[in-house]
Amino acid sequence: METKPEVLILLSGGLDSSACVSFYIDFGRPPRGLFIDYGQLAVANERRSAQAVAAHYSIPLTCLTWRGWLPKGVALIQARNMFLISAALMERPDPVTVVALGIHAGTNYPDSSESFLDRMQLVCDTYEQGRIKLAAPFLNWSKADIHAYCLRKNVPVHLTYSCERGGEHPCGECPSCRDRQMLHVST
């Protein structure tokens, strides 16, 4: 009998969300991935990486597309994580009881904090009456902690993509590239 996924991971194809997949597999909670094309510059590379990571772990991956009228840039995209969580709630399969994000400490983004997660949980509870829990297992970890976890757990870092500009090669200048350069991690 096939195990139904319990955890829906917002899988961007980057280091943090890929580590989330490994985390929940190790934790014994069957995951599935959700990739959302919201008009980000790096969508093609991120989608390819999300698909490669999902294939590596043999988990199902759903890809959604949404278009607004404003172009999306580099660094902070207002309300991005709120939007991604809302989309996950709208599209989650019934067996899913957890929606997980790879957000972590060390950013100054308002939607990568414990208070943001707590507030979004209240919104989820409004709709789901406590049936769905939001999770961010790396919320208090630094990027270096996540990288160390990836190395320890053999997360396929080489399959991930983290440049926000979306070029064939990492730009070396955006916040995600600078994070990875500090770790000396190839994209």
What's the average pLDDT block by block, 10 residues per block, for the chain (187 residues)? 81 96 95 96 96 98 94 84 96 93 90 95 94 96 93 96 87 82 59
CA gap 85, 13 in Å, rounded: 16
State pLDDT tens for residues 73-101: 887 788 999 999 999 999 999 889 999 99
Would you state the pLDDT for residue 187?
45
Q: What is the CATH number of the domain that holds 52?
A: 3.40.50.620
Would you state the pLDDT for residue 186?
47
Would you state the pLDDT for residue 3?
66
Q: Is residue 1 part of a domain?
A: no
State pLDDT tens for residues 162-176: 888 888 888 888 888
DSSP state of 71: P
Amino acid letter at 72? Answer: K
Q: Is residue 48 part of a domain?
A: yes
Q: Work out how many domains the chain is built from and give that number.
A: 1
Q: Is residue 98 part of a domain?
A: yes
0.75 surpassed by pTM: yes
The sheet that has 61-65: what strands, in order across it?
61-65, 31-37, 7-10, 98-100, 133-135
Q: Is residue 51 part of a domain?
A: yes
**What is the residue range of 15's domain?**
7-183
CA gap 144, 67 in Å, rounded: 33
Q: Is residue 19 part of a domain?
A: yes
